[in-house]
């Protein structure tokens, strides 16, 4: 079944923010360099490259992996490793170690996002309602 362009766009955006966030947290000095323009450029390059790879995969049979929660997380992690490897050299001293760590974090973000944001963020809305209910009882 072909995928619509709207769905491809949404997939690109998701595959853009997860690697960008993972790259921001895995680069050395991330929290200290959160406002650094070069730091953001590297993270955005990783996200853009990964998003383009993910978009390219929508034209292949590998698109079926996006439907499975674990397959999606694995695919996102692998694509992030590739994107991080090509967007900048590693900072950890070992070749490609930063790309591997960034890929793992990105895959975990994708897995967590699939649980939290599925069904219009049902779990987050339920948690918010519970917190609001408890807060209302305290007043």
| Overall average pLDDT of the 56-66 stretch | 89
pTM above 0.95, yes or no: no
SS3 of 44, please?
Answer: helix
**84 within 8 A of 23, measured Cβ to Cβ:** yes
- Give tens-digit pLDDT for 62-113: 888 888 889 989 998 999 888 888 877 766 677 788 888 888 988 898 888 8
45 close to 14: Cβ distance less than 8 angstroms: no
* Distance, CA of 37 to CA of 53 (rounded, Å): 24
């Amino acid at each position: 079944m072909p995928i619509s362009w709207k769905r491809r766009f949404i997939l690109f955006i998701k595959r853009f923010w997860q690697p960008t966030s993972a790259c921001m947290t895995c680069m050395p000095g991330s929290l200290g360099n959160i406002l650094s323009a070069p730091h953001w450029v590297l993270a955005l390059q990783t996200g853009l490259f990964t998003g383009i790879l993910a978009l390219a995969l929508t034209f292949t049979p590998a698109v079926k992996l996006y439907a499975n929660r674990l397959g999606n997380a694995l695919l996102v992690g692998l694509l992030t490793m590739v994107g991080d490897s090509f967007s900048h050299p590693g900072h950890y001293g070992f070749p490609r170690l930063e790309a591997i760590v960034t890929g793992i974090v990105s895959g975990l973000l994708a897995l967590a996002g699939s649980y939290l944001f599925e069904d219009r963020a049902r779990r987050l809305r339920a948690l918010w309602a519970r917190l609001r209910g408890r807060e209302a009882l305290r007043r």
